[in-house]
Amino acid sequence: MTNKSIIPILVALAVLAVLVVCFPPGNFSWHRFFLDPAPLGRKAGFLLKVYALPAGLSFMAVLLFQVQMRLSLAGAPTAVIFPLAVLGATSMLGAFRTMVAGVGGVPGYALGMASAYTVMSRFYGLKPSGRTLFGQPMLRILWRGDPEVAREIKMSMMRRHLQPPSSAPKAEPAPVS
């Protein structure tokens, strides 16, 4: 990674940090949160509920919507597409529900969305791995940065360019009389 590519990431993380500092979750300040005599485990659980839950739900929503879109474009049956769409919508509504109490959950939601879109931008596809688990074939994730995947993509593109156009009957010009 170059320094130029790190700068936008650092700016985005700085904005998230400012949001977390300026808008603490709940009706208290960070000073009161750290002075509270509650056990550390309870405080950590509260922070996970406020930040990690919306992050996880928004991550799953984006992941499911992207997979659903890619599978539907590949011609997958409705029995596969519909459950993914329902689970994606449910995850999105759950993420919205966690933010109803206030601005506190917004940084977690934004982090989940950004990380999911970043992961899905590197995702190329799925391929059978050749192994089975409980009698079901396991899948291998193909990432865009993988040299083997790049070679496979290049080969498939070359095959597409080398294939002759479809053998549709050409219209013959009408004889002039």
Q: pLDDT for 37-73, tens place per residue?
A: 989 899 889 888 888 899 999 999 999 999 898 888 8
User: Which residues sit opposite 142 in a β-bridge?
Assistant: 125
116 domain residue, yes or no = yes
Distance CA 163, CA 9 (A): 42
Q: Which pLDDT value is given to residue 170? A: 57
Whether 22 maps to a domain, the answer reads yes
113: in domain = yes
Residue 128 is assigned to a structural domain of this protein? no
Taking the C-alpha atoms of 70, 153, 132 and 83 in order, what is their torsion angle to the nearest 10 degrees? 0
Specify the pLDDT at position 83: 92
Q: Does residue 63 lie within any of the structural domains?
A: yes
Give the count of domains, the chain.
Answer: 1
Domain range spanning residue 64? 3-123
Is residue 73 included in any domain, yes or no? yes
Q: Does the predicted model carry a pTM greater than 0.75?
A: no
pLDDT at 92: 93
Residue 144 domain-assigned (yes or no): no
Residues of the chain with pLDDT below 70 are 1-3, 163-177
pLDDT of 142 reads: 79
Instruction: Confirm whether 130 is domain-assigned.
Output: no
